[in-house]
Amino acid sequence: MKRPHDPSVNIEQELQDLSELQQQHADEEEVPAELKQRVRVLKNRLSAKKSREQAREYVKNLEAKLAVVSTESQILAHRLATLEAENAQLRASRTFHDCPSMEAGRFHMPFPASLSFEVGGEKKRTINEPAVLSQTSLQLDALLLLLSTAWASLLHGSSPSQRPLVLMAAWALSCIRCWASIPAMTAPPSGSRQSLLKLVAQAWRCLPGRRSTKGTRWRGMQRRRQLLFRLRMLLSKI
């Protein structure tokens, strides 16, 4: 069985033999031209062989580096996608918290509105209220109606010793009025706010005057009871 032929081994061996032969002819004045040419050809072949091996090794190194860089690029791309997802989630969370309200996927933006009504038949009052109010604000208005009735009754029939109670009731009414004017985020049924303010105005009209008679006061008390019943019915629908 013959071994595979390796031309590089033959070239190196032949070059070594020719180099020894060239040294033998070094003492002579003249070296054969064919010997010089053969040695030059063999040296060029060996140089070309080394150049091809170096180029092949260089390509292998480049392929190995390319594989490493591709792996690192995939890892960085995965990290970038993860960070972008986290960034989008944080932006969505920030947008959700910055919005005035987000309920069931809908935005409820409060906007001011002006309501005017007559109080006691004297003059008109304009109250700037948010058009979108919460149930808490409506309940505070109900409490305002009750305290208004109690305060007015106390004011008309109070003695000098009861004046501090009148001032305390007035202070409570002013606090409740401020609380009720705070904008809310959820919208009650349409018309609830206007109906409630209308009941407040009617309750003020039903309060007894300074010169009212006993029959007038009794009719006013009956009217206030009817208004309170309507107020409870209105709040039960909110």
Do 127 and 87 belong to one domain? Answer: no
Final residue before a domain boundary, out of 66, 97, 128:
97
Same domain, residue pair 30 and 60: yes
Structural domains counted in the chain:
2
Helices (H), 99-191: 135-156, 163-180
| Nearest-angstrom CA–CA distance, 36 and 47 | 17
DSSP notation for 217-229: HHHHHHHHHHHHH
What is the pLDDT, as a whole number, of residue 109?
43
The reported pLDDT for the residue numbered 212 is 57
pLDDT at 157: 52
Taking the whole predicted model, whether its pTM rises above 0.85 is answered as no
Domain end, chosen from 76, 97, 118, is at: 97
Tokens of 148: 């208004």
Contact 103, 185 (CB under 8 A): yes
> 126 and 93 in one domain?
no
Placement of tokens 């032929």 in the chain: 5
Give the span between the Cα atoms of 67 and 69, in whole angstroms: 6
Q: What is the pLDDT of residue 87?
A: 92
Are 116 and 209 within one domain?
A: yes
CB-based contacts of 133, cutoff 8 Å, min separation 6: 183, 184, 187, 188, 193
Tell me if 102 is assigned to some domain. no
CB distance 141 to 200 below 8 Å: yes
pLDDT value, residue 32:
72
Provide the residue range defining the domain that includes 89: 7-97
pLDDT digits (tens, 9 = 90+) for 186-230: 334 445 555 655 655 555 555 555 555 666 667 766 776 676 666
Mark whether 183 and 80 lie in a shared domain: no
Same domain, 115 and 85: no
88 and 23, same structural domain? yes
Residues of the chain whose pLDDT is less than 50? Answer: 1-5, 100-117, 119, 125, 127, 129-133, 178-180, 182-190, 238
> Does residue 70 sit in the same domain as residue 123?
no
Identify the pLDDT of residue 101.
47
In which residue are the tokens 């054969």 written?
32
Q: Looking at the structure, do residues 73 and 176 belong to the same domain, yes or no?
A: no
